[in-house]
Structure 1
Amino acid sequence: MSVKFEFKAGKMISENGKVRPDLRKGKIQIVADESEISHFQWVDPDGKLEDDYIIFPGEFKFSKVVQTKSRVYLLEFGDDKFFYWLQEPNPELDKELCEKVNKAIGNEPKHEEKKIDTSALARVLESLAKPQLIPDLDEILTPEILKSLVDDLTKYPELLDLLPEEQKSKDFLRENLISAQLQQALQVLSGAIRSPGGPAIFSSLGLQGFDSGNSSDPLERLLRAIQSKSDIRKGRK
């Protein structure tokens, strides 16, 4: 992982509806993993990672707790709330740090969203422009796309059946779908499908038609075969 930026901060402990400071010194760091997915982390004085939250842009917020004059800040996403207290020597920089965190976690002013969307669109169009090749699976099944599946599980209840018995929950499914490990696996699968061993992978997945179709890209033939199998299953229901 690569550290984007970090600053000194401690944790707050929640007890009986109240919070009190954990007196240990530590630091908050914003990092990017191997798949360029951002994480919000808190590291203790010995360098041990205690908090690690995968960032979904636009869903996280970092803000000053106005009910106190102390340097207490709140990280919130959904119903989850985590409190920290800043330990940088100059309190006058707290507001600047807060703005920097919000920018890193995607909680930016609305007028900046167009720039972000345009940049993402440019990357997709660049991938699609590759001659005779469609984007790799990790470029198609991005964490954002996979997260949307979890947000509408009523349409895809069979996804839960693919998890181990002790992990059959929406939270575990979300965690698995947006994990860096899955993105790495999709990269490996894309390369394997385009390798000489591609036909064996087709066979192991119970798919037909590796050598059929008009496309010269084995990965496109894989996706078309999956679509055909899905259409057949729906027709049988």
Structure 2
Amino acid sequence: MLNKISTNSDFGIEGEFYFNPMDFENDGQSMDSSIIDYNEPPSFQPTLWLHWFPSTDRNEIIWNGGDFTEGAAEWVAYIIFKILAPKGYNLNGTVDVSDSLTLKIENNQMDVNNRFIDLQSILMNIENARTQMRLRLGLIPYRILKMEMAPNGRLAVEIEATRSELIIVLSNVENRFSLESFSRVPLSQYSGSLKVSSDQIRIIWSNDSLRAAIYLGNDMVSVIDFQTKQFLKSNLNVAELNPLTKYFDAGIEKGVGQPLELYRHI
């Protein structure tokens, strides 16, 4: 994993597309001051080693003979979603990974053992597992409880749990999937163990992608208005909960609630 690199860079997230053309003989393992962790791949890559390479005529991807069972489906999903599809390529074919695992790809859609698999969900699971591992190792002080993209695909809202707070994180969506956060808003504080699970949190967007609502259980506890750049939250008092629905439906007026610092163009 490289030092943080802008999502607008040709190197991708955490250097995912970077390679040193002078380092092929050493399998890309030479020491480099830009690498901050030699034993961890970038966030969305399944494993340290990729066992697929392009054919000479650039019309196929071919297994290189390595450990084929390690992250086979995940790597194909990554290659399609992050490399081939954005460049306008379609992947087709069937691969028997093992006696119990068959991948069938048709026009960039993948079936695993005759069951359709959503590529974006696979990458989300990879990134979430990496985040949870970093949390357990103490490398990051939070965990992601929930994330939902806006219907227009340009914005995302995450709910993160630190050791004492629930945080709303607002992000722009880069390259259809990668998130670049631009604002963090405290939602609530807690002490001891967190009493809210991921299943109890819902993030609902308005159809025009201008507003998002946060639910804890059946209660709407927060509304975010990206058009007026305002934020409202409830203290879980029933009298305060009811008006939130009105603001989610019609928008939050200027001067109502907390102004948001939106650093980037929405």
User: Would the TM-score normalized by the shorter structure come out above 0.5?
Assistant: no
Greater share of strand: 2
User: TM-score under structure 2 normalisation?
Assistant: 0.26
User: Could you say which structure has the larger radius of gyration?
Assistant: 1
Q: Which has the higher contact order (CA 8 A, sep 6+)?
A: 1
